[in-house]
Homo-oligomer: A and B are copies of this chain.
Amino acid sequence: MSHVDLTKALASWSTDPDELARVSVDRSGVSPAGLPDLVVFAKDVDDVQRTVAYAAAHNVPVVPRGAGSGVAGGAVAGAGTIVLDLSGLNRIVEIRSDEAIAVVEPGVITAHLDEAAAAHGLRYAPDPASAAISTIGGNIATNAGGLRCVKYGVTRDAVLAVDAVLGDGTLVSTGRRTLKGVTGYDLTSLLVGSEGTLGVVVGATLRLSPLPVSTATASAFFATAEDAVAAVTAVQRRGLRPSTAELLDQATLVAIDEADGGDLHTRGEVFLLLQTDGYGAEAEMAVAEQVIRPLATSVETTTDPDVAARLVATRRAALPAIERHGRVLIEDIAVPRSRLAETVTAVASIAAATGVRIFVFAHAGDGNLHPIVLADSAPAEQVDRAVAAIFEHAIAVGGTLTGEHGVGVLKRPWLAAELGDPVLDLHRRIKAVFDPAGILNPGKAIG
């Protein structure tokens, strides 16, 4: 379709095949069938409403898009769709230091908001690995997590209010500018994590947090993943509240060393990066070190911000380092904290049984693992078997398919196994309330 009735009312759009190809994919590796009909570069909320209303009237699927940095296929768009690119709505409308809130448009890059907040002594706590390239709108769509969320919460915990365009083009505002409020249902939390299937987020009011006055960092090595997880559990049982607790397995350490010439993998089997922050950072770290030492083969602590920044950068380098080895499937299971050690072991067993290369790093403090599957390291059916086994394990131990990346299209096959049919049916009926024509990102998130 040419959609001329739509495009004549818009300032910016394209049907150029190269542009369409660019906006048809995200970082999931999913290849949609065919190219979208059109990409709309929204310049204001009117453009969004106009596009969605047109799509509803003509029964055309709309795929909202931020930076395209998603890894579950939530933003892939095939033939017969309109891509609604929100990256141009990128103003930080307001930062209020006395209220510790920010009002932003959805296309703001996450790291840019964090930097702008820092000028006020504040920060935007959720810090997905993609923060330098992903948008707030995308983070809201997937309820993005990150390293700091073990102490400071995920995206949903930071979103006070959203403006969203529903499936008929109506603009609604949910939530409020206050830190507390119980008038009405929590539609804000419902929209966060809905992957663009309930509404197109066109604005958000976000909670900011104080920049911590002090941060202490431990780097520890362990002989086994069990020991490393036991250390994290012991730290949390002791009443400590780490702000970061990241685990990297041997394969991941090797990959990082190969990429940057370091020697992490020679220093131990499993690496744990643990941070504490705030006024009690050093006192808390002193206790953490005591707790970790008997379980570790080595542990070092520092309050030097440069050393800490290098260690965090090393952790953030894990995925790019693995990606040098070939195409990856980025898994994202989360399990109850008490099942984390056995889950790391289970993933290793799955890798051994299928012959698939799998690297593991984890937000260990909240039981969220990223098994990174090297997609071409074994025959496709073995890779499929490995991925299925990982999901089945997660569900079997009371966990979830996805801790912070979303379902997109990649995890749809396991959705019913996790949610159950009655709950999935509720989802479909809720979607119909927000999007009666079924045109908002159909086939994503809830299948």
Contacts and interface: CB of A to CB of B under 8 A. Distances in A.
Contact of A213 (B239, B335, B336): B239
A55 to B, nearest CB: 19
A403 B177 contact: no
Contacts of A446: 184-185
Interface in A397-424: 398-407, 411, 415, 418-420, 422-424
A402 to B, nearest CB: 5
A398 B177 contact: yes
A279 B241 CA distance: 10
Contact of A368 (B143, B180, B405): B180
Interface in A217-264: 233, 236-241
A81 interface: no
A130 to B, nearest CB: 15
Interface stretch (A191-199, A265-273, A315-323, A372-380): A191-199
Q: Is the interface of A mostly helix, strand, loop or mixed?
A: loop
A121 interface: yes
Interface string A67-102: 000000000000000000000000000001111110
Contacts of A422: 170, 172
Task: Give the interface centre of A177, A181, A210 by most chain B CB atoms within 10 Å.
Answer: A181
A107 interface: no
Interface stretch (A3-11, A40-48, A280-288, A351-359): A280-288
A403 B180 contact: yes
Given A179-B337, A186-B192, A189-B190, A423 B174 contact: yes
B430 A183 contact: no
A338 interface: yes
Interface in A26-45: none
A433 interface: yes
Contacts of A177: 336, 398-399
Nearest to A446: B184
Given A98-B233, A210-B240, A434-B426, A183 B279 contact: no
A228 to B, nearest CB: 15
A55 B64 CA distance: 42
A371 to B, nearest CB: 15
A327 B402 CA distance: 51
A278 to B, nearest CB: 5
20 contacts: A96-B338, A99-B337, A99-B338, A172-B426, A173-B420, A176-B400, A178-B368, A178-B398, A180-B366, A182-B405, A184-B407, A184-B424, A184-B427, A184-B446, A185-B446, A186-B193, A210-B236, A279-B283, A280-B283, A280-B284
Interface of A: 96-101, 121, 142-143, 145, 149-150, 153-154, 156-157, 166, 170, 172-174, 176-187, 189-190, 192-194, 198, 210-213, 233, 236-241, 276, 278-281, 283-284, 287, 334-338, 363, 366-368, 398-407, 411, 415, 418-420, 422-424, 426-427, 429-430, 433-434, 445-446
